[in-house]
Amino acid sequence: MAILNILHYPDERLHTVAKPVTVFDEHLQQFVADMAETMYQAPGIGLAATQVNVHQRVVVIDLSESKDELLVLINPEIIEMDGQITYEEGCLSVPGIYEEVDRAERIKVRAQRVNGETFEFAADELLAVCIQHELDHLNGKVFIEKLSRLKFNRILQKLKKNQRKTL
């Protein structure tokens, strides 16, 4: 397995819309394993392929404390949404930034497993928020872009300042 490089905002590649996965093979299985290892090491609870500069519709999520409940979503789509929840979100592509975002509280998802088998499930609260956050990445969006213009600009200034410190 390999640790993949996570893109950081405002990298333009984070705005690339991911394409559907059409080949379910050993390469995909290895990529999913690498994504999971990268997410766990970061550490994070979710990672979209877009964040590691692979523009395919692949997401890994694990909300468990023990890090042994990996959820792999290939070609995920939200088919139902209900309610509203405000949750403080962070992102591996926007390190150190946490802001409240409004999302659907309950969702129903259709996706494929790494072997291509289609499945559906319901999710609520944190899992629903995480899935919506990761699907935004697959659609070329980053959570801070959902914030007010004032908050967004403040965060952008902070990111630029932090970037200058690391150079």
CA distances to 10, 87, 129, 132, 159 from 13, rounded to whole Å, are 9, 26, 23, 19, 17
> Under DSSP, is residue 106 helix (H, G, I), strand (E, B) or coil?
strand
Q: Identify the active-site residue in 65, 77, 134, 145.
A: 134
Q: Is there a catalytic annotation at residue 134?
A: yes
Count Cα neighbours of 70 within 13 Å in the Cβ-side half-sphere. Answer: 18
> Under DSSP, is residue 117 helix (H, G, I), strand (E, B) or coil?
coil
Q: Is the C-alpha dihedral spanning 38, 11, 160, 164 positive or negative?
A: positive
Q: What angle do CA 117, 123, 37 make, to 5 degrees?
A: 65
**So which residues are the catalytic ones?**
134
